[in-house]
Chains A and B, each alone.
Chain A
Amino acid sequence: MRTVRSRCVATSVALLLVAAASLAPALAVKPNEMLKDPALEARARALSAELRCLVCQNQSIDDSDADLAHDLRVLVRDRLKAGDTNAAVKDYLVARYGEYVLLRPRFDLGNLALWLAGPVALLAGAMAIFAARRRASRLAERPLTDEEEARVEAILSRRAGSGDAPAENLTKL
């Protein structure tokens, strides 16, 4: 029999739910982890929301109950107690775990494609709209050529002569 693996996910949310569920119901941030100093604890929480639980599907260490997330939360708080700035804590974690640990990739050359996707798409879209408008107005403003004028003339005079209303012609089709 096949083993039940991550495929027993049902729906969009399900995958996420499963990732969370496989890790018991313990709460993410536990009361005993929290720092006494509320200002420092608030900084720790804000930082935790920006850091990825490396073994989870897609959770911050603030949201995850995994053991690793617990260790990282304690580590973050230790660094903050030692007087690190937020940036220094992040650098420390990136040095240990790689950029994978950051939920918001750094704005640098390697990630330029990610960060500029929005502005570039906006620019490209705006240019496409501009080009389409120019093409449309050129089409609309172009006067008829002599040949086309002649054809219109011919059609109109033929219809007027035969006395047939054009609409009737069409309905008979």
Chain B
Amino acid sequence: MVVEIGHFALVLAFALALVQSVAPIWGSRTGDIRLMATAAPSALGQLLFVAIAAAALVHAHVVSDFSVVNVVENSHSLKPLLYKITGVWGNHEGSMLLWVLILALFGGLVALFGANLPASLKANVLAVQAWIASAFYLFILCTSNPFARISPAPLEGNDLNPVLQDIGLAIHPPLLYLGYVGFSIAFSFAVAALIDGRIDAAWARWVRPWSLAAWIFLTLGIAMGSYWAYYELGWGGWWFWDPVENASFMPWLAGTALLHSAVVMEKRDALKIWTILLAILTFSLSLLGTFLVRSGVLTSVHAFATDPERGVFILGILCLFIGGSLTLFAWRAPGLKPGGLFAPISREGALVFNNLFLTVGCAIVLVGTLYPLLYEMATGAKITVGPPFFNLVFGAFIAVLLVAVPLGPMLAWKRGDLLAAAERLWLALALAAIAAAAVWWPSTGAILTALGVGLAVWVMAGAVVEWAARIKLFRAPLADSLSRARGLPGAAWGMTFAHFGIGMVILGIVSETSWNEERILAMKPGEVVTIGGYQVKLDGMIPRQGENFSEEAAHFSIRRGGVQVTFLEPSRRMFATRRTATSETAIATFGFSQLYIALGETDKTGASAVRLYWKPLVTLIWLGAVVMAFGGLCSLLDRRLRVGAPVPARKAGSKHVGPGNIDPGAPAAPVAAE
């Protein structure tokens, strides 16, 4: 019964989305306020109904209702409760339900917090959101119904893939989807602006915080996925340039560009048209990612052709939204007035440089990801584009951008002085040179490593120097500097943290790839191996029994200078239901570095295959991402960005009613398309 309620709620959400697709936009075209006002309640209604549907599916999984196909295929009565819940989105149908739940969540948030938006803009935005939602509800109901029943119901389920039975599945997909789908808001705002034919001041104020929120989640989601792969897969890799990873990385690159161009738009009223295009592209890449992951096209073009139902549906959605929005853009954009002028060497110029390189980086990833598909379609032959290609080509382009990262914030708006900016960064440059020399000197020949470390220090020190210059550290009395730091806007803090975080990521990557130590050997109990300055001794094997698996763990004691510092217990797990085994790695963190052990098979002589890694500074890769996300949060909490806090003096009195309203207090007048 609960399952049917869930199914029915999803149908109701679809029906509401259809209403929301038409009524508000009709209202905004005809100036009918009542029709426009239907948008917010129907968005909230959608959220309610999708939430009911999701709750029903979670319930079915928790009580192990094996009359539901989705539960049978992905659950088992003995599975721990946490994985019964996370297993809901650990499969195609459930993850699509999570997708629309988050879409409805964002729609609901716009409805709730959009009170101060011009009514027609709000109506259009929510209508566009509803178009996306309708398409995906229809997709779920037609091709991927998570509520399908099976009769007779089997007594037991097939269990969830053991690799997914991990805390990572609880966190990674929701974070990633919050990011992916969050960019739909920027998309809807862009399309709404194009439909209206004007870019409101409200537009700029709204797009930045929503993109920022989505970007924070996507950053954390990607970092989390990377760490999950790192500890789960057992060979110490953390990024594989797999098409599925690229699918989440491309919206991140485009979204990062979007954040930067939105700054120019907000501060200087320039790059408006480009920002609109980026908003469209970012979400288009999210949709493309969904298509790549969900259609099975990645495995092979042929696999896609044999079971095309879902793939073709998503491809249709993809073409409709990307093609439609780009057509709308091509039609409407020429009518939008370009904004302010600036010299090539200026803050705006630096941000354009940033956008150019991020977009090119994104294009490289896109071409590299799709090239094997296109190549196979064109020639019938298969080709691989793997990590060695991406590392080389993407790395080369992005390194140029990274060199420029500290320079940009040092340039003045409108017209800057590159030489003066470089002079103010002398300390960062000196530190970078010292760091590079310190790496290069003892190990002559490691020129790439030296350059990489230099680059990382340059970016990190550059962020700190810029911050110090803002608060006049050591140039003014300390108390003065402190009060300046307190008065520093959140966005400034955000930039400092985000840029510093990038430096941390680079340092982590360079260090991990250059100084990674590895031992692969067969160890017998009692044997000792030294790695990274630690003595690792295999004490013995311990058989254990888990809730739905049995495992063979190896006990290693870790000593440094004869003193035991910790112990590690990597294991091999056997899951009876699916007859699959997994290798659980064990990791000890020392400072920013990690000791990593994976266990292989034990042979007849009692020797176990063991892989040990010493990964210096590896955690900086993920900590750097967390610092970047924290920077995003600082920027998000900036008072000036807070939606609903435009100019306090005009709180009462002026009400936005419709497209005819021109807000005299707004920083930038609406741009009309004529």
Contacts and interface: CB of A to CB of B under 8 A. Distances in A.
Task: Say whether A and B bind each other.
Answer: yes
Interface of A: 1-2, 4, 6-18, 20-22, 24-32, 34, 49-50, 52, 57-60, 63, 98-105, 110-111, 113-115, 117-118, 121-122, 125-126, 129, 132-133, 135-137, 139-140, 167, 170-171, 173
A25 B580 CA distance: 9
22 contacts: A1-B73, A2-B73, A4-B73, A6-B303, A10-B164, A11-B225, A15-B298, A17-B164, A20-B163, A24-B580, A28-B235, A29-B520, A31-B520, A57-B299, A98-B381, A105-B384, A114-B367, A118-B393, A122-B357, A132-B338, A170-B662, A171-B654
A15 B228 CA distance: 13
Contact of A14 (B164, B240, B371): B164
A104 B392 contact: yes
A111 B375 CA distance: 9
Interface in B131-161: 150, 154, 158, 160-161
A57 B367 CA distance: 19
Contact of B385 (A8, A11, A27, A114): A114
Contacts of A4: 73, 158
B74 A8 contact: yes
Interface in B42-94: 69, 72-74, 89-92
A12 B247 contact: yes
A53 B344 CA distance: 47
Nearest to A13: B225
A16 B520 contact: no
B600 A25 contact: yes
B420 interface: no
A58 B92 contact: no
Contacts of B356: 122, 125-126, 129
B245 A27 contact: no
Contacts of A29: 520
Interface in B148-183: 150, 154, 158, 160-164, 168-169, 172-173, 176
B172 A49 contact: no
B522 A32 contact: yes
Contact of A1 (B72, B247, B371): B72
A107 to B, nearest CB: 10
B95 A52 contact: no
A81 B249 CA distance: 40
B341 A121 contact: no
A36 B308 CA distance: 50
B583 interface: yes
Contacts of B352: 129
Contacts of A170: 662, 664
A136 B381 contact: no
Contacts of A18: 161, 163-164
Contacts of B396: 118
Contacts of B661: 173
A137 B386 contact: no
Interface in B289-311: 289, 293, 296, 298-299, 303
B240 to A, nearest CB: 6
A15 B244 contact: yes
B362 to A, nearest CB: 9
Contacts of B389: 103-105, 114
Contact of A10 (B95, B394, B598, B654): B95
B21 interface: no
B237 interface: yes
B671 interface: no
B27 interface: no
Given A27-B583, A122-B356, A170-B664, 11 more contacts: A1-B73, A7-B296, A12-B289, A14-B161, A21-B161, A30-B520, A30-B600, A100-B381, A104-B389, A110-B379, A115-B393
B360 A100 contact: no
Contact of A100 (B367, B368, B382): B382
Contact of A121 (B241, B247, B364, B384): B364
A129 B113 CA distance: 36
B244 A12 contact: yes
Interface in B203-229: 225-226, 228-229
A58 B382 CA distance: 13
B364 A8 contact: no
Interface string B332-367: 000000100100100000001000110110011001
Contacts of B248: 12
B666 to A, nearest CB: 11
A113 B90 contact: no
